[in-house]
Protein backbone atom coordinates (compact mmCIF):
# COMPACT_ATOMS: atom_id res chain seq x y z
CA UNK A 1 0.00 0.00 0.00
CA UNK A 2 1.62 3.21 -1.16
CA UNK A 3 -0.76 5.41 0.82
CA UNK A 4 -1.34 4.79 4.50
CA UNK A 5 -2.95 7.99 5.70
CA UNK A 6 -6.27 9.69 4.90
CA UNK A 7 -4.54 13.07 5.13
CA UNK A 8 -2.35 12.20 2.17
CA UNK A 9 -5.63 11.92 0.20
CA UNK A 10 -7.46 14.90 1.76
CA UNK A 11 -4.50 17.23 2.20
CA UNK A 12 -1.98 18.69 2.54
CA UNK A 13 -3.15 22.19 3.28
CA UNK A 14 -1.09 24.21 0.85
CA UNK A 15 -0.65 27.31 -1.21
CA UNK A 16 -1.11 26.43 -4.90
CA UNK A 17 -0.83 25.81 -7.71
CA UNK A 18 0.93 22.44 -7.74
CA UNK A 19 1.41 19.90 -4.99
CA UNK A 20 4.65 18.69 -6.58
CA UNK A 21 6.05 21.98 -7.93
CA UNK A 22 4.90 24.23 -5.10
CA UNK A 23 4.13 22.34 -1.85
CA UNK A 24 6.92 19.80 -2.42
CA UNK A 25 9.34 22.62 -3.21
CA UNK A 26 8.51 24.41 0.06
CA UNK A 27 9.28 21.22 1.97
CA UNK A 28 12.61 20.73 0.19
CA UNK A 29 13.58 24.31 1.06
CA UNK A 30 12.71 23.68 4.69
CA UNK A 31 14.86 20.55 4.82
CA UNK A 32 17.83 22.58 3.51
CA UNK A 33 17.19 25.34 6.03
CA UNK A 34 16.97 22.89 8.91
CA UNK A 35 20.17 21.17 7.79
CA UNK A 36 21.94 24.53 7.94
CA UNK A 37 20.34 25.15 11.32
CA UNK A 38 19.76 28.88 10.93
CA UNK A 39 18.62 31.59 8.54
CA UNK A 40 20.86 31.38 5.42
CA UNK A 41 22.78 34.48 4.32
CA UNK A 42 23.33 33.16 0.84
CA UNK A 43 21.62 30.48 -1.22
CA UNK A 44 22.53 28.89 -4.51
CA UNK A 45 19.73 26.90 -6.11
CA UNK A 46 20.21 24.61 -9.10
CA UNK A 47 17.04 23.44 -10.84
CA UNK A 48 16.81 20.31 -12.98
CA UNK A 49 14.27 18.84 -15.41
CA UNK A 50 10.65 19.89 -15.04
CA UNK A 51 11.59 22.17 -12.12
CA UNK A 52 13.86 24.13 -14.47
CA UNK A 53 11.29 24.13 -17.27
CA UNK A 54 8.11 25.10 -15.45
CA UNK A 55 9.26 26.68 -12.18
CA UNK A 56 8.00 30.11 -13.06
CA UNK A 57 4.34 29.32 -13.67
CA UNK A 58 4.23 27.06 -10.61
CA UNK A 59 6.03 29.50 -8.34
CA UNK A 60 8.65 26.84 -7.61
CA UNK A 61 11.23 29.60 -7.08
CA UNK A 62 8.99 31.34 -4.53
CA UNK A 63 8.18 28.01 -2.89
CA UNK A 64 11.84 27.04 -2.48
CA UNK A 65 12.60 30.52 -1.15
CA UNK A 66 9.69 30.20 1.31
CA UNK A 67 11.08 26.90 2.53
CA UNK A 68 14.47 28.53 3.13
CA UNK A 69 12.62 31.03 5.32
CA UNK A 70 11.13 28.04 7.18
CA UNK A 71 7.56 28.73 5.97
CA UNK A 72 5.08 25.85 5.95
CA UNK A 73 3.33 24.63 2.77
CA UNK A 74 0.18 26.65 3.54
CA UNK A 75 1.85 29.90 4.56
CA UNK A 76 0.07 32.70 2.73
CA UNK A 77 3.31 34.67 2.47
CA UNK A 78 4.64 32.16 -0.09
CA UNK A 79 3.63 34.32 -3.10
CA UNK A 80 5.76 37.16 -1.63
CA UNK A 81 8.61 34.93 -0.45
CA UNK A 82 11.10 36.80 -2.66
CA UNK A 83 10.26 40.06 -0.89
CA UNK A 84 10.39 38.35 2.53
CA UNK A 85 13.81 36.91 1.61
CA UNK A 86 15.10 40.34 0.67
CA UNK A 87 14.02 41.65 4.08
CA UNK A 88 16.22 39.04 5.76
CA UNK A 89 19.16 40.02 3.54
CA UNK A 90 19.43 36.52 2.06
CA UNK A 91 21.02 36.62 -1.39
CA UNK A 92 19.79 34.12 -3.94
CA UNK A 93 21.56 32.71 -6.97
CA UNK A 94 19.64 30.56 -9.46
CA UNK A 95 21.41 28.10 -11.74
CA UNK A 96 20.16 25.89 -14.54
CA UNK A 97 21.28 22.33 -13.83
CA UNK A 98 23.30 20.43 -16.40
CA UNK A 99 22.13 16.90 -17.13
CA UNK A 100 19.01 15.26 -15.78
CA UNK A 101 19.29 15.21 -12.02
CA UNK A 102 18.13 12.17 -10.08
CA UNK A 103 14.40 12.77 -10.82
CA UNK A 104 12.41 14.97 -13.27
CA UNK A 105 11.68 17.42 -10.42
CA UNK A 106 15.08 17.77 -8.76
CA UNK A 107 16.93 20.59 -7.11
CA UNK A 108 20.30 21.11 -5.48
CA UNK A 109 20.47 23.73 -2.76
CA UNK A 110 23.65 25.11 -1.22
CA UNK A 111 23.35 27.46 1.75
CA UNK A 112 25.82 29.59 3.64
CA UNK A 113 25.63 31.42 6.96
CA UNK A 114 28.90 32.68 8.43
CA UNK A 115 31.21 29.67 8.70
CA UNK A 116 28.37 27.22 8.17
CA UNK A 117 27.51 25.57 4.88
CA UNK A 118 24.83 23.03 4.00
CA UNK A 119 23.99 21.27 0.77
CA UNK A 120 21.12 19.02 -0.23
CA UNK A 121 19.92 17.27 -3.37
CA UNK A 122 16.23 16.43 -3.34
CA UNK A 123 13.23 15.88 -5.58
CA UNK A 124 9.49 16.41 -5.37
CA UNK A 125 7.96 13.08 -6.33
CA UNK A 126 4.23 13.91 -6.37
CA UNK A 127 1.42 15.05 -4.11
CA UNK A 128 3.80 17.19 -2.04
CA UNK A 129 5.88 14.15 -1.10
CA UNK A 130 9.64 14.66 -1.33
CA UNK A 131 12.69 12.45 -1.54
CA UNK A 132 16.03 13.70 -0.22
CA UNK A 133 18.96 12.03 -1.96
CA UNK A 134 21.92 13.77 -0.43
CA UNK A 135 22.84 15.78 2.68
CA UNK A 136 26.19 17.60 2.68
CA UNK A 137 27.51 15.25 0.01
CA UNK A 138 26.46 12.04 1.76
CA UNK A 139 24.00 9.78 -0.04
CA UNK A 140 20.84 9.37 2.02
CA UNK A 141 17.23 8.36 1.47
CA UNK A 142 14.80 10.35 3.57
CA UNK A 143 11.27 11.65 3.09
CA UNK A 144 10.85 14.38 5.67
CA UNK A 145 7.62 12.68 6.75
CA UNK A 146 9.11 11.63 10.07
CA UNK A 147 11.28 13.45 12.60
CA UNK A 148 14.77 12.80 11.24
CA UNK A 149 18.20 13.03 12.82
CA UNK A 150 21.26 13.38 10.59
CA UNK A 151 24.47 12.51 12.41
CA UNK A 152 27.89 13.23 10.94
CA UNK A 153 30.58 11.12 12.56
CA UNK A 154 33.90 9.49 11.90
CA UNK A 155 33.66 5.98 10.50
CA UNK A 156 34.48 4.19 13.75
CA UNK A 157 33.34 1.05 15.46
CA UNK A 158 30.58 1.39 18.03
CA UNK A 159 29.22 4.74 16.90
CA UNK A 160 25.93 3.31 15.69
CA UNK A 161 25.57 1.07 18.73
CA UNK A 162 25.91 4.13 20.98
CA UNK A 163 23.36 6.14 19.02
CA UNK A 164 20.75 3.40 18.76
CA UNK A 165 21.18 2.56 22.46
CA UNK A 166 20.49 6.19 23.30
CA UNK A 167 17.32 6.26 21.20
CA UNK A 168 16.21 2.94 22.65
CA UNK A 169 16.72 4.27 26.19
CA UNK A 170 14.37 7.15 25.33
CA UNK A 171 11.74 4.74 23.97
CA UNK A 172 12.10 6.19 20.48
CA UNK A 173 11.48 3.73 17.68
CA UNK A 174 13.65 3.91 14.55
CA UNK A 175 11.52 3.54 11.42
CA UNK A 176 14.36 3.76 8.92
CA UNK A 177 18.12 4.14 9.09
CA UNK A 178 20.78 4.73 6.47
CA UNK A 179 24.59 5.00 6.64
CA UNK A 180 26.96 6.45 4.06
CA UNK A 181 30.70 6.99 4.42
CA UNK A 182 33.20 8.81 2.28
CA UNK A 183 35.67 5.98 2.75
CA UNK A 184 36.95 3.57 5.33
CA UNK A 185 37.83 5.48 8.52
CA UNK A 186 36.72 8.74 6.86
CA UNK A 187 33.69 10.86 7.63
CA UNK A 188 30.31 9.18 7.61
CA UNK A 189 26.69 10.19 7.95
CA UNK A 190 23.89 8.23 9.54
CA UNK A 191 20.27 9.30 9.25
CA UNK A 192 17.47 8.05 11.46
CA UNK A 193 13.78 8.43 10.63
CA UNK A 194 12.00 8.24 13.96
CA UNK A 195 8.43 7.55 15.04
CA UNK A 196 8.60 10.40 17.55
CA UNK A 197 10.71 13.52 17.90
CA UNK A 198 13.52 13.35 20.48
CA UNK A 199 13.85 16.08 23.10
CA UNK A 200 16.59 18.68 22.65
CA UNK A 201 18.71 17.27 25.47
CA UNK A 202 18.93 13.94 23.62
CA UNK A 203 20.41 15.70 20.62
CA UNK A 204 22.94 17.38 22.95
CA UNK A 205 23.76 14.04 24.51
CA UNK A 206 24.36 12.59 21.06
CA UNK A 207 26.82 15.34 20.16
CA UNK A 208 28.82 14.47 23.29
CA UNK A 209 29.26 10.83 22.27
CA UNK A 210 32.71 9.80 20.99
CA UNK A 211 33.46 10.28 17.28
CA UNK A 212 30.36 12.44 16.70
CA UNK A 213 31.02 15.57 14.63
CA UNK A 214 27.57 17.04 14.16
CA UNK A 215 23.92 16.21 14.90
CA UNK A 216 21.10 17.90 13.01
CA UNK A 217 17.38 17.56 13.53
CA UNK A 218 15.16 17.74 10.45
CA UNK A 219 11.46 17.77 11.23
CA UNK A 220 8.83 18.91 8.77
CA UNK A 221 6.08 17.48 10.96
CA UNK A 222 6.47 20.49 13.28
CA UNK A 223 4.60 23.62 12.22
CA UNK A 224 6.99 26.49 11.59
CA UNK B 1 -6.34 0.38 7.25
CA UNK B 2 -8.55 -2.70 7.26
CA UNK B 3 -9.70 -2.30 3.66
CA UNK B 4 -7.93 -2.34 0.32
CA UNK B 5 -10.97 -2.35 -1.95
CA UNK B 6 -14.33 -0.56 -1.95
CA UNK B 7 -16.07 -3.93 -1.66
CA UNK B 8 -14.15 -4.69 1.55
CA UNK B 9 -14.96 -1.21 2.82
CA UNK B 10 -18.69 -1.62 2.16
CA UNK B 11 -18.62 -5.08 3.79
CA UNK B 12 -17.04 -3.70 6.95
CA UNK B 13 -19.72 -0.98 7.05
CA UNK B 14 -22.47 -3.56 6.63
CA UNK B 15 -21.10 -5.95 9.27
CA UNK B 16 -20.42 -3.27 11.85
CA UNK B 17 -23.43 -1.13 10.95
CA UNK B 18 -21.23 1.93 10.40
CA UNK B 19 -20.92 4.59 7.75
CA UNK B 20 -17.86 4.79 5.49
CA UNK B 21 -16.91 7.98 7.34
CA UNK B 22 -16.96 6.24 10.72
CA UNK B 23 -14.82 3.34 9.49
CA UNK B 24 -12.32 5.75 7.92
CA UNK B 25 -12.03 7.85 11.09
CA UNK B 26 -11.50 4.84 13.31
CA UNK B 27 -8.97 3.22 11.00
CA UNK B 28 -7.06 6.48 10.61
CA UNK B 29 -6.89 6.89 14.39
CA UNK B 30 -5.65 3.33 14.79
CA UNK B 31 -3.10 3.56 11.97
CA UNK B 32 -1.55 6.82 13.18
CA UNK B 33 -2.07 6.27 16.91
CA UNK B 34 -3.81 9.64 17.18
CA UNK B 35 -7.17 9.89 19.02
CA UNK B 36 -10.32 10.04 16.86
CA UNK B 37 -11.30 13.51 18.10
CA UNK B 38 -7.90 14.88 17.09
CA UNK B 39 -8.16 13.27 13.68
CA UNK B 40 -11.61 14.83 13.33
CA UNK B 41 -10.28 18.24 14.38
CA UNK B 42 -7.62 18.23 11.68
CA UNK B 43 -10.22 17.40 9.02
CA UNK B 44 -12.48 20.13 10.44
CA UNK B 45 -9.61 22.61 10.03
CA UNK B 46 -9.22 21.49 6.44
CA UNK B 47 -12.93 22.07 5.79
CA UNK B 48 -12.58 25.66 7.01
CA UNK B 49 -9.74 26.21 4.54
CA UNK B 50 -12.00 24.89 1.78
CA UNK B 51 -14.80 27.29 2.72
CA UNK B 52 -12.38 30.21 2.83
CA UNK B 53 -11.06 29.25 -0.60
CA UNK B 54 -14.61 29.30 -2.05
CA UNK B 55 -15.16 32.81 -0.67
CA UNK B 56 -11.77 34.04 -1.80
CA UNK B 57 -12.32 32.70 -5.30
CA UNK B 58 -15.69 34.41 -5.61
CA UNK B 59 -14.65 37.79 -4.22
CA UNK B 60 -10.86 38.14 -4.50
CA UNK B 61 -8.44 38.61 -7.37
CA UNK B 62 -7.62 35.21 -8.86
CA UNK B 63 -5.39 36.26 -11.74
CA UNK B 64 -2.68 33.62 -11.96
CA UNK B 65 1.05 34.38 -12.05
CA UNK B 66 1.10 33.44 -15.73
CA UNK B 67 -1.86 35.69 -16.39
CA UNK B 68 -3.60 32.91 -18.31
CA UNK B 69 -6.52 32.39 -15.94
CA UNK B 70 -8.67 33.95 -13.23
CA UNK B 71 -12.11 35.41 -12.74
CA UNK B 72 -14.19 32.61 -14.29
CA UNK B 73 -15.93 31.69 -11.04
CA UNK B 74 -17.11 35.28 -10.75
CA UNK B 75 -18.39 35.18 -14.33
CA UNK B 76 -20.53 32.15 -13.55
CA UNK B 77 -21.78 33.68 -10.30
CA UNK B 78 -22.69 36.94 -12.06
CA UNK B 79 -24.41 35.05 -14.86
CA UNK B 80 -26.51 33.21 -12.29
CA UNK B 81 -27.72 36.56 -10.95
CA UNK B 82 -29.15 37.38 -14.36
CA UNK B 83 -31.47 34.40 -14.69
CA UNK B 84 -31.94 30.66 -14.51
CA UNK B 85 -28.82 28.83 -15.67
CA UNK B 86 -29.22 25.83 -18.01
CA UNK B 87 -27.97 23.51 -15.24
CA UNK B 88 -30.37 24.81 -12.63
CA UNK B 89 -29.23 26.87 -9.67
CA UNK B 90 -27.78 24.25 -7.31
CA UNK B 91 -25.56 22.56 -9.91
CA UNK B 92 -24.42 25.88 -11.31
CA UNK B 93 -23.51 26.99 -7.78
CA UNK B 94 -21.42 23.84 -7.27
CA UNK B 95 -19.72 24.57 -10.58
CA UNK B 96 -19.01 28.20 -9.65
CA UNK B 97 -17.59 27.19 -6.26
CA UNK B 98 -15.38 24.51 -7.80
CA UNK B 99 -14.03 27.03 -10.31
CA UNK B 100 -13.46 29.47 -7.46
CA UNK B 101 -11.27 27.09 -5.47
CA UNK B 102 -9.29 26.00 -8.52
CA UNK B 103 -8.67 29.63 -9.40
CA UNK B 104 -7.49 30.34 -5.88
CA UNK B 105 -5.06 27.46 -6.32
CA UNK B 106 -3.80 28.76 -9.66
CA UNK B 107 -3.25 32.22 -8.15
CA UNK B 108 -1.16 30.83 -5.30
CA UNK B 109 -3.85 30.95 -2.65
CA UNK B 110 -4.42 28.43 0.10
CA UNK B 111 -6.31 25.22 -0.70
CA UNK B 112 -6.52 21.62 0.45
CA UNK B 113 -5.22 19.09 -2.07
CA UNK B 114 -8.24 16.78 -2.70
CA UNK B 115 -6.62 14.50 -3.72
CA UNK B 116 -4.24 16.87 -5.52
CA UNK B 117 -3.89 20.61 -6.06
CA UNK B 118 -4.94 20.17 -9.69
CA UNK B 119 -8.25 18.66 -8.61
CA UNK B 120 -8.76 20.75 -5.47
CA UNK B 121 -12.00 22.44 -6.60
CA UNK B 122 -14.40 19.53 -7.02
CA UNK B 123 -14.93 18.43 -3.42
CA UNK B 124 -15.25 21.96 -1.95
CA UNK B 125 -17.52 22.93 -4.85
CA UNK B 126 -19.88 20.04 -4.19
CA UNK B 127 -19.63 20.18 -0.39
CA UNK B 128 -19.94 23.91 0.29
CA UNK B 129 -22.79 24.45 -2.19
CA UNK B 130 -24.71 21.45 -0.84
CA UNK B 131 -24.17 22.55 2.74
CA UNK B 132 -25.74 25.94 1.98
CA UNK B 133 -28.60 24.34 0.10
CA UNK B 134 -29.58 21.82 2.77
CA UNK B 135 -28.53 23.82 5.82
CA UNK B 136 -26.14 21.14 7.12
CA UNK B 137 -23.70 21.90 9.94
CA UNK B 138 -19.95 21.76 9.41
CA UNK B 139 -19.51 18.50 11.31
CA UNK B 140 -21.67 16.66 8.82
CA UNK B 141 -19.47 17.85 5.97
CA UNK B 142 -16.33 16.90 7.88
CA UNK B 143 -17.74 13.37 8.08
CA UNK B 144 -18.25 13.60 4.33
CA UNK B 145 -14.56 14.40 3.89
CA UNK B 146 -13.69 11.15 5.62
CA UNK B 147 -16.02 9.30 3.24
CA UNK B 148 -14.31 11.00 0.32
CA UNK B 149 -10.92 10.23 1.85
CA UNK B 150 -11.72 6.51 2.17
CA UNK B 151 -12.74 6.33 -1.49
CA UNK B 152 -9.63 8.24 -2.57
CA UNK B 153 -7.50 5.99 -0.41
CA UNK B 154 -8.73 2.91 -2.32
CA UNK B 155 -8.25 4.59 -5.70
CA UNK B 156 -4.75 5.81 -4.77
CA UNK B 157 -3.63 2.37 -3.67
CA UNK B 158 -5.19 0.41 -6.53
CA UNK B 159 -4.73 2.87 -9.39
CA UNK B 160 -3.32 6.39 -8.98
CA UNK B 161 -4.08 9.93 -7.93
CA UNK B 162 -1.19 11.44 -9.87
CA UNK B 163 -1.59 12.98 -13.33
CA UNK B 164 2.05 12.18 -14.09
CA UNK B 165 1.29 8.51 -13.46
CA UNK B 166 -2.26 8.04 -14.69
CA UNK B 167 -3.41 11.18 -16.49
CA UNK B 168 -6.22 13.53 -15.46
CA UNK B 169 -8.58 10.60 -14.79
CA UNK B 170 -6.37 9.96 -11.75
CA UNK B 171 -6.76 13.50 -10.43
CA UNK B 172 -10.04 15.06 -11.58
CA UNK B 173 -11.56 11.59 -12.10
CA UNK B 174 -10.65 10.48 -8.58
CA UNK B 175 -12.01 13.71 -7.09
CA UNK B 176 -15.32 13.25 -8.92
CA UNK B 177 -15.63 9.67 -7.66
CA UNK B 178 -14.77 10.77 -4.12
CA UNK B 179 -17.26 13.65 -4.17
CA UNK B 180 -20.02 11.48 -5.68
CA UNK B 181 -19.62 8.69 -3.11
CA UNK B 182 -19.45 11.16 -0.24
CA UNK B 183 -22.56 12.97 -1.44
CA UNK B 184 -24.51 9.69 -1.48
CA UNK B 185 -23.59 9.06 2.14
CA UNK B 186 -24.36 12.66 3.12
CA UNK B 187 -27.83 12.33 1.61
CA UNK B 188 -28.49 9.16 3.58
CA UNK B 189 -27.61 6.56 0.95
CA UNK B 190 -26.07 3.24 1.96
CA UNK B 191 -22.34 2.45 1.71
CA UNK B 192 -23.21 0.13 -1.20
CA UNK B 193 -24.94 2.99 -3.00
CA UNK B 194 -21.94 5.24 -2.32
CA UNK B 195 -19.67 2.63 -3.92
CA UNK B 196 -21.98 2.45 -6.93
CA UNK B 197 -21.72 6.23 -7.27
CA UNK B 198 -17.93 5.91 -7.42
CA UNK B 199 -18.21 3.32 -10.19
CA UNK B 200 -20.68 5.42 -12.16
CA UNK B 201 -18.60 8.58 -11.81
CA UNK B 202 -15.27 6.98 -12.70
CA UNK B 203 -16.70 5.32 -15.81
CA UNK B 204 -17.37 8.76 -17.18
CA UNK B 205 -13.76 9.89 -16.62
CA UNK B 206 -11.76 6.92 -17.88
CA UNK B 207 -9.12 7.88 -20.39
CA UNK B 208 -9.02 11.57 -19.48
CA UNK B 209 -5.49 12.73 -20.28
CA UNK B 210 -3.39 15.25 -18.35
CA UNK B 211 -2.40 17.88 -20.91
CA UNK B 212 -1.91 21.23 -19.19
CA UNK B 213 -0.86 24.18 -21.34
CA UNK B 214 2.75 25.15 -20.53
CA UNK B 215 2.68 22.46 -17.83
CA UNK B 216 0.71 24.79 -15.55
CA UNK B 217 -2.23 23.82 -13.32
CA UNK B 218 -4.54 26.18 -15.19
CA UNK B 219 -5.71 25.20 -18.69
CA UNK B 220 -7.71 22.89 -18.79
CA UNK B 221 -7.51 22.00 -15.08
CA UNK B 222 -9.73 24.80 -13.79
CA UNK B 223 -12.69 24.21 -16.11
CA UNK B 224 -12.41 20.46 -15.57
CA UNK B 225 -12.89 21.10 -11.86
CA UNK B 226 -16.02 23.15 -12.57
CA UNK B 227 -17.47 20.48 -14.84
CA UNK B 228 -16.31 17.73 -12.48
CA UNK B 229 -18.45 19.10 -9.64
CA UNK B 230 -21.54 18.78 -11.85
CA UNK B 231 -20.66 15.20 -12.83
CA UNK B 232 -20.23 14.26 -9.18
CA UNK B 233 -23.73 15.50 -8.34
CA UNK B 234 -25.16 13.63 -11.31
CA UNK B 235 -23.47 10.36 -10.34
CA UNK B 236 -24.67 10.75 -6.74
CA UNK B 237 -28.23 11.25 -7.94
CA UNK B 238 -28.08 8.16 -10.15
CA UNK B 239 -26.84 6.02 -7.28
CA UNK B 240 -29.38 7.45 -4.82
CA UNK B 241 -32.09 6.65 -7.36
CA UNK B 242 -30.97 3.03 -7.21
CA UNK B 243 -28.96 2.93 -10.43
CA UNK B 244 -26.04 0.55 -9.98
CA UNK B 245 -22.65 0.38 -11.63
CA UNK B 246 -22.95 -2.96 -13.48
CA UNK B 247 -19.17 -3.13 -13.65
CA UNK B 248 -18.27 -2.94 -9.93
CA UNK B 249 -16.40 0.18 -8.81
CA UNK B 250 -13.28 -1.82 -7.90
CA UNK B 251 -13.13 -3.19 -11.42
CA UNK B 252 -13.56 0.31 -12.85
CA UNK B 253 -10.60 1.39 -10.70
CA UNK B 254 -8.69 -1.52 -12.27
CA UNK B 255 -9.50 -0.09 -15.69
CA UNK B 256 -8.25 3.32 -14.54
CA UNK B 257 -4.89 1.70 -13.77
CA UNK B 258 -4.85 -0.16 -17.09
CA UNK B 259 -5.67 2.95 -19.12
CA UNK B 260 -3.31 5.15 -17.10
CA UNK B 261 -0.41 2.75 -17.57
CA UNK B 262 -1.04 2.61 -21.31
CA UNK B 263 -1.17 6.41 -21.64
CA UNK B 264 1.73 7.91 -23.60
CA UNK B 265 4.11 10.10 -21.58
CA UNK B 266 3.06 13.16 -23.56
CA UNK B 267 -0.44 12.79 -22.08
CA UNK B 268 0.76 12.51 -18.50
CA UNK B 269 1.45 15.99 -17.14
CA UNK B 270 4.45 16.74 -19.33
CA UNK B 271 2.72 19.59 -21.17
CA UNK B 272 3.90 18.05 -24.46
CA UNK B 273 0.69 16.57 -25.89
CA UNK B 274 -3.07 17.05 -26.04
CA UNK B 275 -4.36 20.58 -25.47
CA UNK B 276 -0.84 21.76 -24.57
CA UNK B 277 0.40 20.83 -28.05
CA UNK B 278 -2.41 22.51 -30.02
CA UNK B 279 -1.44 25.59 -32.07
CA UNK B 280 -3.00 27.82 -29.40
CA UNK B 281 -1.43 25.84 -26.57
CA UNK B 282 1.99 26.21 -28.14
CA UNK B 283 1.46 29.90 -28.83
CA UNK B 284 0.49 30.59 -25.21
CA UNK B 285 3.51 28.62 -23.99
CA UNK B 286 5.83 30.62 -26.25
CA UNK B 287 4.38 33.90 -25.06
CA UNK B 288 4.88 32.86 -21.46
CA UNK B 289 8.53 32.02 -22.05
CA UNK B 290 9.08 35.46 -23.61
CA UNK B 291 7.18 37.20 -20.84
CA UNK B 292 9.34 35.43 -18.27
CA UNK B 293 12.56 36.42 -20.02
CA UNK B 294 11.46 40.04 -19.91
CA UNK B 295 10.58 39.86 -16.23
CA UNK B 296 13.79 38.02 -15.41
CA UNK B 297 15.74 40.89 -16.90
CA UNK B 298 13.81 43.46 -14.88
CA UNK B 299 14.11 41.71 -11.54
CA UNK B 300 16.72 39.37 -10.20
CA UNK B 301 14.56 36.38 -11.05
CA UNK B 302 16.04 33.02 -11.95
CA UNK B 303 18.24 33.33 -15.05
CA UNK B 304 16.63 34.23 -18.35
CA UNK B 305 18.42 31.50 -20.26
CA UNK B 306 16.44 28.81 -18.48
CA UNK B 307 14.40 26.78 -20.94
Q: Is the dihedral of CA A30, B54, B226, B147 positive or negative?
A: positive
Minimum distance, in Å, between the CA of residue B212 and any CA atom of chain A: 11
The whole-number pLDDT of residue A224 equals 66
CA pair distance A28, A22, nearest whole angstrom: 10
Dihedral of CA atoms B17, B20, B23, B26 in degrees, nearest 10, equals -130
pLDDT at position B307 over 50: no
- Give mean pLDDT, residues B97-110: 97
- A-to-B residue pairs, Cβ atoms closer than 8 angstroms: 163
The CA-CA-CA angle for residues B118, B245, A6, to 5°, reads: 40
Tens digits of residue pLDDT in A158-210: 999 999 999 999 999 999 999 999 888 789 999 999 988 999 999 999 999 99
Dihedral of CA atoms A23, A25, A26, A27 in degrees, nearest 10, equals 90
pLDDT at position B304 over 60: no
DSSP-assigned letter for residue A7: G
Helices B36-59 and B122-134: angle between axes, nearest 10 degrees: 90
Tens digits of residue pLDDT in A32-51: 999 999 999 999 999 998 88
The whole-number pLDDT of residue A129 equals 84
Is the minimum CB–CB distance between B113 and chain A shorter than 8 Å?
A: yes
B residues 189-228 near A, CB within 8 Å? 214-218
The whole-number pLDDT of residue B58 equals 98
- Give mean pLDDT, residues B252-270: 94
* CB atoms A56 and B104 under 8 Å: no
Check: CB of residue B302 under 8 Å from CB of residue A25.
no
Check: CB of residue A142 under 8 Å from CB of residue A218.
yes
* CB atoms B108 and A78 under 8 Å: yes
pTM, two decimals, is 0.90
Rounded-to-5 percentages of helix, strand, coil across chain A: 30, 35, 35
The whole-number pLDDT of residue A51 equals 86
Amino acid sequence: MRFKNVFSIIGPSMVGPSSSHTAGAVRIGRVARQLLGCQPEKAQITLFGSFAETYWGHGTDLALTAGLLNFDTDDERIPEADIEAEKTGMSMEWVQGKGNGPHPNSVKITLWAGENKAEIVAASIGGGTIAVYSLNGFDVQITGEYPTIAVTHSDSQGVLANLTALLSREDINIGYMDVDRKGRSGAAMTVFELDSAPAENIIKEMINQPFILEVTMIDLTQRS
Amino acid sequence: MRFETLEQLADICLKENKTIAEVMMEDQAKETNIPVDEVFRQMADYYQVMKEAVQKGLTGNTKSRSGLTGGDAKKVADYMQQGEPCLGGPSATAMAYALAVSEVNASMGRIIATPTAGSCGIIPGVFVSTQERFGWDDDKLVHGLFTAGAIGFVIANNASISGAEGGCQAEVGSAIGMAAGAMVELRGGSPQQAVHAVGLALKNCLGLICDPVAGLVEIPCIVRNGLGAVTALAAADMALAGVGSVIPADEVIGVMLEVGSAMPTKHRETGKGGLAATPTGRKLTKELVEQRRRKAKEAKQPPSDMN
